Structure 1
């Protein structure tokens, strides 16, 4: 039995490497996506154009405008002539945010009264507008705070809020899932498309051995790819790694194990490799959206949050950011690893059962 399993594993490695489509999936997309997404996926908002309608024209209002111009967040600060001009600039997207300084701005400041400042943002770009408004509020507070030294801000785990430090761990998880899911979803579908599936059925191999033989090669390849992406993150992008290599290794193995069951199920119901790839992306997109990759899970509707517990990528991303930036302990890590192993066992059992029904 062991010899048969090793022969099947060897055959699967050769089949993956000899198939041009599988080679492309393994090599090209992960590298391209790692480079593109590292720079494209960002919550930072820079090079913003803002407009200022200064109806006060006082020393204090000019001081505020200078502070906005000195900020590296804003590309250009436009002087607006009227409220209608402000509306037009936002409507034509020449500016993202408009600031209206009222006529009694300096008088109110001199009397230590609330000084009126209006901020009008382009709601069509809600996320960028909210971040830009935050930058403007910070500039206002820094300019007119009487006790500037009383506020000390520290960012734990990512002191300078480096974008790569949170993007790259997320990409390690999502790209590892992409590779594992597509490789396994093509596995059985490839055999059907090439006409070799019937040969497997008449071979002296049980369905369980077939499933194991189809599972191990994609797992090994996915783990190796994850290691390469991890090395690129810490070597070329400078993301610090302060956690345990042992925890990271176990987490990657558990995560890949949790994914291959989904992939084998998709492959079992697919007649062609094209159907397998389509099925993989149908699962991939909601998994990424519901994993906390870009938006916090806490911000989702309360009825949707329990469904995220079925997303293995959710647990893996928590672990990755923990071992990259936080040096989490084994006790904490096992609480994230265990659900992935459970999900892997459940999906693999379902895939095996479905595969047996298809071959009998």
Structure 2
């Protein structure tokens, strides 16, 4: 059995190596995506286009405008003179926000009762909410600086696990998980479909190999290549983006192996029901997009509707991302790691069992 299995693994590895186009697609683009998405996928807002409608025209309002101009978050500040200009700028998305300083603002500041109006483009809801926080902070700081006696409470803020709120520390571990998943999925999804297209699948079926051995032979090379890809991404994360690795490499790669096993089970299932590589690729993306959305990659699971949250438990990427960020930033223990590794392993067993059933039916 071992000899037959090793021969099939060697054959599959050679098939992957000789399929230059597919190998290029699953190796090179993911590495490029790590570089691109690490800079592109950010929730930071550093370039706000702001318009100001100064109805007060006093020294105090001008001082506030200068404070806004000097902020690192403001890219462009435009002065407007009427409501029509405000509507035009927002409708054409030339500005994200408009600050309206009403008449009497200078006097109200001295009386500690000043009000301003902030108009934001709701079409860019997430960006608008973040910009509102930045602009409100600037206005509040300016207001407090004008009070003769400041009795405001000073809040000393400290951020655990990411003290500088570096975007790379958040996005790169997430990309480590999602891109590794894509590589493993595509490699396994193409494996059996490739055999059908080349006409060699029937030859494997009439060989002494049993269905379980065939699946294992398809699984192992994909796991090894995906592991290699994950090592390259790990090196990028540590040495290029400066993400700290606080935890154990043993915990990390135990999680990587179990996660790749669970994802490969899904990839082999897609491959088993696909007749062509094109069908396999399309089938992979039917799974990949919902998996990324339900994993908590971009939005917290707690913010999802209550009826949708239980479905996230069926997504191996959910546990994998928690594990990765825990190892990178928190130095989690084995006790915590097992609570994430075991569900991934269980899902992998379920997916492989379903794949075995469909593979046997398609092989008859």
The answer to whether TM tops 0.5 is yes
What displacement does 1:148 show? 6.6
Contact 1:142 1:148 (8 Å CA) reproduced:
no
1:99 equivalent to 2:99? Answer yes
Contact 2:26 2:186 (8 Å CA) reproduced:
no
1:111-122 alignment, distance < 5 Å: 111-113=111-113, 115-122=114-121
Match of 1:254?
A: 258
1:208-219 alignment, distance < 5 Å: 208-219=212-223
Match of 2:147?
A: none
Match of 1:352?
A: 356
What displacement does 1:26 show? 3.0
Match of 1:186?
A: 190
For 1:6 and 1:128, the matched residues in 2 are separated by 53
1:193-204 alignment, distance < 5 Å: 193-204=197-208
1:25-78 alpha-carbon deviations (Å, 9 max, x no partner): 232111121111111111111211101111122333222212211111110111
1:129 equivalent to 2:133? Answer no
What displacement does 1:99 show? 0.5
1:252-291 alpha-carbon deviations (Å, 9 max, x no partner): 0111011011000000011111111111111111111111
Q: Post-superposition, which runs of at least 4 consecutive aligned residues in structure 1 deviate over 4 A?
A: none
Contact 1:181 1:260 (8 Å CA) reproduced:
yes
Match of 1:334?
A: 338
Match of 2:50?
A: 50
RMSD: 1.3
1:153 equivalent to 2:157? Answer yes
Contact 2:17 2:23 (8 Å CA) reproduced:
yes
1:30 equivalent to 2:39? Answer no
For 2:342 and 2:62, the matched residues in 1 are separated by 58
For 2:285 and 2:262, the matched residues in 1 are separated by 16
Contact 2:180 2:226 (8 Å CA) reproduced:
yes
| TM-score scaled by length of structure 1 | 0.97
3-state DSSP of counterpart to 1:98: strand
Which of residues 226, 232, 236 is equivalent to 2:230? 226
What displacement does 1:147 show? 5.0
1:205-232 alpha-carbon deviations (Å, 9 max, x no partner): 1111111111111111111111111111
1:117-144 alpha-carbon deviations (Å, 9 max, x no partner): 1010011111111111111011112222
The runs of 5 or more residues in structure 1 that have no matched partner are none
Corresponding pairs, count: 359
3-state DSSP of counterpart to 2:190: helix
Higher deviation after alignment, 63-72 or 175-184 = 63-72
Match of 1:323?
A: 327
3-state DSSP of counterpart to 2:76: strand
3-state DSSP of counterpart to 1:75: strand
Q: CA 1:246/1:204 → structure 2, altered by over 3 Å: closer, same or farther?
A: same
Match of 1:63?
A: 63
3-state DSSP of counterpart to 1:150: coil
Contact 2:99 2:118 (8 Å CA) reproduced:
yes
3-state DSSP of counterpart to 2:75: strand
Higher deviation after alignment, 103-112 or 146-155 = 146-155
The runs of 5 or more residues in structure 2 that have no matched partner are 145-149
Higher deviation after alignment, 138-147 or 326-335 = 138-147
3-state DSSP of counterpart to 2:50: strand
